Structure 1
Amino acid sequence: MPDSPSVVAGHGRAAILTPDGELLLLPTEAAAERLRTMPPPILVHAPATFRRLGMRAGRAFDLLELFAFVRPAETAAPTPRGLALALDDDHPPTGLEAEVAHLPDLAAALLHQLVQGRDTLLNRDAAVLAARMQQVGWEWGGYVTHALGRPDAAGSNEPLKVWKVLPEWEDAAPQPPSASHPVSQAEARARLATMLGPAAEQRPGQGDYAGAATAAFAPREVRGDPHFVLAEAGTGTGKTLGYLAPASVWAEKNKGAVWISTYTRHLQRQIDSELQRLIPDPTERRRRVVVRKGRENYLCLLNLEDSVNIASGGFMNQQVVPLGLIARWAMASDDGDIQGGDLPGWLPELFGGGLIATLADRRGECIFGACPHFRRCFVEHTIRRSRTAELVVANHALVMTQAAWGGLDDNAVPTRYVFDEGHHVFDAADSAFSAALSGAETAELRRWLRGAEGGRSRSRGLSRRLEEIVADRPALEAPLEAALQAASALPPSDWASRMHDEGPELDEIEPARANPSEAFLRLIRRQILARTSGAEAGRGGGFGTLECDVFPINPDTAQAADRLARALARIAEPLETLRVRLLARLTDEAEKLDETTRNRIEAICRSLTRRALTPLTAWTAMLKELLAPHDEPGQRPSTILFLRLDRRDAFRDVEVGLHRHWLDPTIPFVTTLASPAHGLLVTSATLRDSGSQDPEIAWGAAEARVGAPHLPSPAIRAAVASPFDYSEQTRAFIVTNVTPGNLDQLAAAYRALFLAAGGGGLGLFTAISRLRAVHARIAPELEQAGIPLFAQHVDAMGNATLVDIFRTEEESCLLGTDAMRDGVDVPGNALRLVVFERTPWPRPDILHRERRIHLSDGNPKAYDDRVVRLRLRQAFGRLIRRSTDRGVFVLLDRQAPSRLMSAFPAGVTVRRLGLAEAVAETAAFLQTRAFHSPRTSA
């Protein structure tokens, strides 16, 4: 064991256990001063700990690093208590003093596991790897090699080269088309009962829901007219198992796949976990169920090899430690998902997210069959598994992209879908079918085509990716070279540095020499700054996001748009020629091409379409729209064009561009995905607006948000009420004496409410600045009371990590923004209070302006109200996840209109009262159960 102190840092104070056993509780400044004279400390999550201590990051024995080495592809909440629970500790510590005293025990337990696992296959080369990591400064290296019984192991880079030992995939015969046998309600209910087991709690609504969901799996009668089921299932219904029952029956009966789509990664993991009830055997479940994400989510073995080679050459030596932990994880990972899979979310936080980002194929540079690791590729493994799987758990963005492109990797498109978190279909479609002609997007295309153009980038250009395919073939080399030459019209990576150039524009002096993309970007930036209001542009020095309408367009901008459109055409034409000629090889040389080369050509042609031709086509169309006659104000457009400038400060533009969104993005959603499908189930706990007095209006609005009116036949509606007794399980208050904008009063309200609940509070904010200000004001006092406070945009942790901590530490509180409102699922006592800073009105941007005019049936106010009510319902829905939960919802906005309060479930009475009364009632209501056990301190 290291002869080192242990430290746990809170807000304003820290606990230190010295090597000789003395336990100190000190202010953070004093603790930091003490640690500077001591050996590297044992701690949990070094970046967060050093930040709380006000220290620069330094050497440390981080237990998370040891955990990642000893138990790769497993996770734990990154706190002493979280690690203790992951190690099956019967007495996890509570409070700073208990936590710091427990750190040496956690280290000993992890090292002891290495002793016990010396002879496992996973640990065959672990000592050599640990010794290599020790050579570059890994504090745990010597202790790990000692535990493995090889204290004199010689370090080597060989264990980093996991691409040599990972299993290879094998191709299978193409799957025949699925059958179309229906699923009866009796079959769905029987499957549900099997999944629940005989001891399960009886929930009649769950069986009704499963029965209603079977309509989405009926045989299609007319081409282009799918069975579209819109099912609202109140919180607690058990909708996940409710739709998995008929979906799994259909997949088994028809030998086909059902694609289940979610909006959040958390729900993907939850569904995968629920399927253990259906398929307990892990091997069988892996064969029949696949969690599918985009390529950018998986470890790229070629990128890993590049990084290892750089580190092996003596450059970037500090990367050897994270690469070693990644290598351990890759050996144990289920599917190589580096974003939200079994790689702990806190691992990138320990070393900075930059390295992890470079290890995935985020830039579309895959060389497919030409890659030496192609047959071991995690992505290719997943693709082949999904071809024969019964249930594919994907996400809205991937599913919509797949539909738009006519298949992701093999031109296969599903026929049956379930869209969970269906209230996000509109937003997901809005993102999937929008386009942006911007500095970052165009520069990214230039990099994809031309590769690295100076600097230390490892970017592989199109020429390198195609070198073996086009070599010695003039018919292919000529259009490739023409496209790469024409791509110089796109901006280089440093385009933003020239947006602020003073004096006459280069394109005004010598148009032929000016980069047409940069000229256009400069002119639209000028238009944005000229047409945004003084208050808007001057707020914060003009920082943040500024938007303005395109029309009437400046004449100079119109000329620049025309010139850029012609330049983009000069890129697209040879690329299309190249694509057509590559595809011709598949026919002309059918007898000569091996399977690897054929697959590679097909993959390259898909990449050309997606990464280059599709955006170039969209950008050209957008530029032509600028030059064409446009609709008069008030007329309903099909698409919305606007200009946007994102600024970091007065001297740095982050992004500037022309944006195009569909007015109603469910139109392309229906055209590309719903119409070709045979059946869809769209489900959520919050599909309908509960504020409508007319059920037909509420259903109509819900259908409009998912595109049902654009289909020939009406949607099949189903609704199952929540089984919870909200009148008994919840309380809801609007606090009437907190002044809007007064940060001191806002902070006092959060402090008092969190203390009254004894922790377990989720604070939601509509602005990051207010979140940070409140956190700074209340964190130390809450810490003194034994309530740790964590926050988005403050702690050196990602959202998933923060939620894991919040779920594990029952007395902690968490501050967050919209992502926490929709993405947090914390059943039980850990979440018992939700405090909303103010009414979550829609952001008043151009996109919302146009939609509230044209999609509101003539009542823009009602459109805004509907958005707010759905957001409030989502926030309130975080509170009660089980029949035994109790919770309080507080809105700190005395101006909140009463008409919005119908957002809450039946039985919830929203009361307006002062802060003192709300605090007293919160404490009294939550303490009626014996769950309040605040932490104690010396």
Structure 2
Amino acid sequence: MTPPSPPDVVATTTEPCLVAGWRRASLLSGDGEVLDLAAGAVEAALAGEKPPLLVHGPASWRRLGLPPRPAYDLLELFAFACPAVAAAPTPRGLALALDLAPPRDRESAAMMLHDIAARLLDRVRDLAATPNAPEITAIAQRMAQAGWGWGAAVLAALREGGAAIPGRMDPADALRIWRRLPKWEETAPRSPPATHPVGPAEARTRLAGLLGAAAESRAGQSDYAHAAAAAFAPRAVRGDPVVLLAEAGTGTGKTLGYLAPASLWAERNQGTVWISTYTRHLQRQIEAESRRVYADHARAARARVVLRKGRENYLCLLNMEDAVNAAANAPASTAAIGLGLIARWARASADGDILGGDLPGWFVELFGRGYTAGLADRRGECIHGACPHYQTCFVEHSIRRARHADLVVANHALVMVQAAMHGRFGTAGDEDALPTRYVFDEGHHLFDAADSAFAVTFSGAEAAELRRWLLGAEGARSRARGLRRRLDELVAGHEGLEGPLDAALQAARALPAPGWALRLSPARATVDGDEDAPADEPVLDNPSEALLHRLRVQVLARIRGAGASSREPGRQAECDIHPVPDEVAAMAARLERALDRIAAPLNTLVERLLARLEDEGEDLDTPTRLRIEAAARTLLRRAIGPLEAWSGMLRDLGDPPPEPGMMPVHVLFLRLEAREGQTLETGEVGLHRHWLDPTVPFAATLAAPAHGLLVTSATLRDETGPAEDVTRADAPRLDAAEEGWRAAEAHVGANHLPSPALRASVASPFDYARQTRTFVVTDVAHGETGALAGAFRTLFTASGGGGLGLFTAISRLRAVHARLAPALEAEGIGLYAQHVDAMDNATLVDIFRTETDSCLLGTDAMRDGVDVPGRALRLVVFERVPWPRPDILHRERRIHLAGEGAAYDDRIARLRLRQAFGRLIRSAGDRGVFVLLDRRMPSRLLGAFPRGVAVERVGLAQAAAAIRDFLPPA
């Protein structure tokens, strides 16, 4: 958080204004002089001045390499005046959001900060005439009392706008927004949907209506909607859904293409279509597009289009209450400043989504993660019907709206967990009836999403978190309530309930106790002059801790290079669990019995809680019934499910490993992971179990019960491509096309269903041969950080910015960024980076999109999740061929799923290159260049690029010259 400034009224005309670059800044002094300063001169220039106006204080001081100092951060004022409004956290971003002419450069940005401040205070004056003026005024008063630098200026603006100060609301109550939020009410359940089909011609007609008469006609989009209608045909046989795989090239307009038949089916059949995507960013994009279906009726759109995410993404009002009370009990605390802005946002938010929703992503960096993750239910402690804010809860609102919506926009993780819980526990296992119709956008990620959803990990952190959830804080200062406190009103006085609860909580002490990480860290001692020789091993009575210690010993014994190199931070190491040492097998069996002693009484507790609904049906009031149902559901999901999965995994250790050549169902292995500041010797060990083919449980739990699935992406299929570097675009590829479809079907689990999937493909409308150039640079030294940074600098300056740099390793990204940032700054090009800048990916992309001559470095998430049309993205530079990571899980899948060895690796690399290339051209007017800095690029991977694209192998200088010639000037 930016240090608070003195509570003087900001004049917005005489304060110095600071705009930071990388180790340089532009400073508009108090007397109106614009200075270009090196970082070391900034502090001296600010000495004796008022605190400066700036945008994004934490990032500004970090880019200058200076400690934070008092400042008036315009982002804080923007968050108060324009809550839940998107804006990139830069002077240009705020100017665009406020309808001001954007600055041209850093100097003009410094000169317009006063104008931005004045415009924002004008917005505050306008708030004084709104119905919520008393609440807004009271919030500003409470923030001013906590030392908010903008407090006096905001209160003055509200007074000028006509607000009464002091207002009609006590500032002490201003942050208690839960008292003023709308309540949901229960409604009758929705009837099962009908099964009327959607005809292809009807889908085309609906699409035309969505686009409007003035829209540009795109034949490919209409063809796509025509094909997508097939996914909404009635199911003929139970367990045999209609599955359509539809590949739509970039620029097809597939979102509206599938929304046309989906919305028509929902209206015609009074049912709900769930639209699922992989990334939060695309989830929000699809929600925005889907509202166009009901553009003429804004209120109807909110009721008929609902965004669903996991409970941990939303503001928890009970956590908010705890934070507000803590701030009230600490008058000197500045916590009320951040809470005041959260209160302003929550009252304006569409759905209370605090992580990836309409709370700006830069808010976390300004005020700390405690104001986002700390205010959400990140640890599964929701008490549902027992919560005093249950009927104003954002999550409960979204759940109930989704039950009656036409379109629910969710994510792969949520829909898979929901289906898995329903499959294991029936209707008590989830909060929604399972949908019958799905659209999976970003369908190429289904395999990875299923892999995460159905995998099991036993680690110290996860097991200790479950203990904390069951037992509470165990003496430490924490808001952790523990299971007894959460269930007390339901079990107190019921002997049949108190007994199992007591037994489970007593048995939970077998899970890692507080301080487990220190006890598991190996003690080191000098033995005969060898400083790496281990001292006596710790004696661990706790069965979880004892097993974890032995598993770490096993990994360190079996990995390669476990000497000095293993002390490098940020590394991972894996080894096979088999053959299982006798000592490990005995410890695993002991822990398995201990976990069963926790799960068994919890299962009994759930059974007896649900029995109360039947036995005491006439006596239980509605809130109690809701609490019992929610408690049973949470116990199943949060405790019993993991415990039974861990027990099953430990039990598997006693089984003999598959014979060589036999296909296993699961892959078990150990991973030792060194997090920031750790080495492998002190890292955390985990026992992992993955499905060899995770689409098997996906098909069984989600796909088979459904009636219809549309799986779509721009990159569903792999194409092997020509044998030579440059083009044989017209060569026949019939065999490769069929192979590509079959691989795509296996990748999404369609091959596990009774009937074959339908197939559709619509080509991109872009002329890639005309709009793009593609180069493989052949003279950049592989593995040399200086040479790699120099190559990025040469290419980014040749394009004048607008470059996206993609890396396959975080360590290389950081090393290149450290060398590249000052060099680009000297060229007037800003540089931002994932894993370096403390902002979420969506915020970094917003900045990149807004600052059209900046550059951005990123890894996988940037390769797949960036949509930046126009000049802001005109160059993609990939540092090396994106081969899959050669870990144990990949080894087993390569052997058993691919059936063709290295071709499996090639397919993955080609699809990743296709995704990266797809970032480049997003509209018909775009021009762009794709560069791969890896001279080892094999010709067999060139099928990753669109037909007609000539891939040239050139030197760095030649590539830079071609970029300058090809890209249009600004």
Deviations 1:459-513 (A, max 9, x none): 1111111111111111101100110110000002421111124399999897xx7
Give the Cα separation in 1 of the matches to 2:907 and 2:562. Answer: 29
Hey, what does 1:914 align to over in structure 2? 955
2:727 matched residue in structure 1: none
Give the secondary structure class of the aligned counterpart of 2:413.
helix
Q: Name the counterpart of 1:248.
A: 263
State which of 803, 806, 814 in structure 2 corresponds to 1:772.
814
Change (3 A) 1:543 1:143: closer
1:419 deviation in Å?
0.2
Q: Following TM superposition, by how much is the alpha carbon of 1:136 offset from its aligned partner in structure 2, in angstroms?
A: 2.1
Specify whether residues 12 and 56 from structure 1 end up closer, same or farther in structure 2 by C-alpha distance, changes over 3 A only.
Answer: closer
Are the counterparts in 1 of residues 572 and 680 from structure 2 also a CA contact under 8 Å? no
What is the aligned counterpart of 1:103 among 103, 113, 121? 113
Which has the larger displacement, 270-279 or 205-214? 270-279
Q: Could you say if the C-alpha distance between residues 191 and 507 of structure 1 is closer, same or farther in structure 2, counting changes exceeding 3 Å?
A: farther
Report what 1:573 is aligned to. 600
Structure 1 residues 819, 543: CA separation in 2 closer, same or farther (over 3 Å shift)?
closer
- Asked whether the 8 Å contact 1:45–1:78 carries over to 2, the reply is yes
Report percent identity of matched pairs. 63
C-alpha distance in 2 between matches for 1:509 and 1:751? 51
Q: Is 2:163 the counterpart of 1:179?
A: no
Q: Where does residue 311 of structure 1 map in the other structure?
A: 327
Q: Distance in 1 between matches of 2:655 and 2:683?
A: 29
Aligned match of 1:936: none
Query: What are the within-5 Å matches in structure 2 for residues 130-279 of structure 1?
Result: 130-149=140-159, 153=166, 156-279=171-294
Local SS of the residue matching 2:133: coil
Question: Which region of structure 1 is more displaced relative to structure 2, 889-898 or 28-37?
Answer: 28-37
Taking only aligned residues, the RMSD between alpha carbons, in angstroms, comes to: 1.8
Query: 1:577, CA displacement in angstroms?
Result: 0.4
C-alpha distance in 2 between matches for 1:309 and 1:386: 32
Tell me whether 1:587 sits opposite 2:598 in the alignment.
Answer: no
**1:663-702 map, 5 Å:** 663-691=692-720, 693=733, 694=735, 695-702=737-744
Matched-pair contact (CA < 8 Å) for 1:645–1:653: no
Is the 2:134–2:164 Cα contact (8 Å) retained in structure 1? Answer: no
Give 3-state SS (helix, strand or coil) of 1:157's partner.
Answer: helix
**What are the within-5 Å matches in structure 2 for residues 267-346 of structure 1?**
267-280=282-295, 281-314=297-330, 317-346=333-362
Give the deviation of 1:539 after TM superposition: 4.5
Structure 1 residue 443 and structure 2 residue 464: aligned?
A: yes
Q: Distance in 2 between matches of 1:583 and 1:848?
A: 43
Alignment match, 1:67: 78
- C-alpha deviation, 1:409, in angstroms: 4.1
Alignment map for 1:509-908 (pairs within 5 Å): 514-534=541-561, 538-541=565-568, 543-648=570-675, 649-650=678-679, 653-691=682-720, 693=733, 694=735, 695-857=737-899, 859-908=900-949
TM-score for both structures, normalised by structure 1: 0.96
Q: SS at 1:278's partner residue? A: helix
Amino acid at match of 1:887: G
Secondary structure, aligned partner of 1:889: strand
Report the count of equivalent residues: 925
How big is the shift at 1:36? 4.6
Residue type matched to 2:550 in 1? L
Deviations 1:126-149 (A, max 9, x none): 222222212222100000000000
Q: Say if 1:297 and 1:542 are closer, same or farther in 2 by CA, change over 3 A.
A: closer
**Are the structure 2 counterparts of residues 506 and 558 from structure 1 closer, same or farther at C-alpha, using a change threshold of 3 Å?**
farther
Match of 2:27 in 1: 16
Cα distance in 2 for partners of 1:536, 1:812 equals 42
| Cα distance in 2 for residues equivalent to 1:757 and 1:324 | 43
Distance 1:316 1:918, change over 3 A: farther
Return closer, same or farther for 1:520/1:418 CA change in 2, 3 Å cut-off: same
The counterpart of 1:77, out of the listed 74, 77, 88, is: 88
285-294 vs 20-29, which moves further:
20-29
Return closer, same or farther for 1:543/1:808 CA change in 2, 3 Å cut-off.
closer
Contact persistence 1:122–1:331 (CA under 8 A): no
Residue identity opposite 1:794 in structure 2? V
Distance 2:244 2:298 in 1: 32
Call closer, same or farther: CA 1:820–1:626 in 2, change over 3 Å.
same
CA distance 1:467–1:315, change in 2 (3 Å):
farther
| Ranges in structure 1 where 5+ consecutive residues have no aligned partner | 934-938
Looking at structure 2, the residues matched to 542 and 31 of structure 1 have their Cα atoms a distance apart, in angstroms, of: 34
Contact 1:763 1:834 (8 Å CA) reproduced? yes
**1:544: Cα distance to partner?**
1.5
Instruction: Name the SS of the counterpart of 2:364 in structure 1.
Output: helix
Name the CA distance, whole Å, in 1 between partners of 2:39 and 2:461: 41
Which letter maps to 2:561? G
Per-residue Cα deviation, 1:204-229 (whole angstroms, up to 9, x for no partner):
11111111111111111100000010
For residue 621 of structure 1, what is the amino acid of its counterpart?
G
Q: Deviations over 1:626-680 (max 9, x none)?
A: 1122212332101000001111323874531100000000000000000000000
Distance 1:108 1:486 in 2: 62
Which amino acid counterpart does residue 234 of structure 1 have in structure 2? G
Q: Deviations over 1:839-861 (max 9, x none)?
A: 1111111111111111111x110
C-alpha distance in structure 2 between counterparts of 1:100 and 1:762, whole Å = 26
| Residues 556 and 134 (structure 1), Cα distance of their counterparts in 2 relative to 1, 3 Å cut | same
Aligned residues of 2:522 and 2:682 also touching (Cα < 8 A): no
Q: Do the aligned partners of residues 152 and 219 (structure 1) sit closer, same or farther apart at CA in structure 2, a change above 3 Å counting?
A: closer
Match of 1:353 in 2: 369
Following TM superposition, by how much is the alpha carbon of 1:274 offset from its aligned partner in structure 2, in angstroms? Answer: 1.1
Alpha-carbon offset, residue 284 of structure 1:
0.8
Match of 2:43 in 1: 32
Amino acid across the alignment from 2:707? H
Is 2:407 aligned against 1:391?
yes
CA offsets 1:433-478 (integer angstroms, 9 cap, x no match): 0000111110111011111112221011111111111111111011
Q: 1:36 to 1:353 in 2, by over 3 A?
A: farther
* 1:366 maps to which of 357, 361, 382: 382
Q: CA deviation at 1:429?
A: 0.2
**Distance of 1:710 and 1:507 partners within structure 2:** 52
Q: Whole-Å Cα distance in 2 between the matches of residues 261 and 685 of structure 1?
A: 15
C-alpha distance in structure 2 between counterparts of 1:914 and 1:797, whole Å: 35
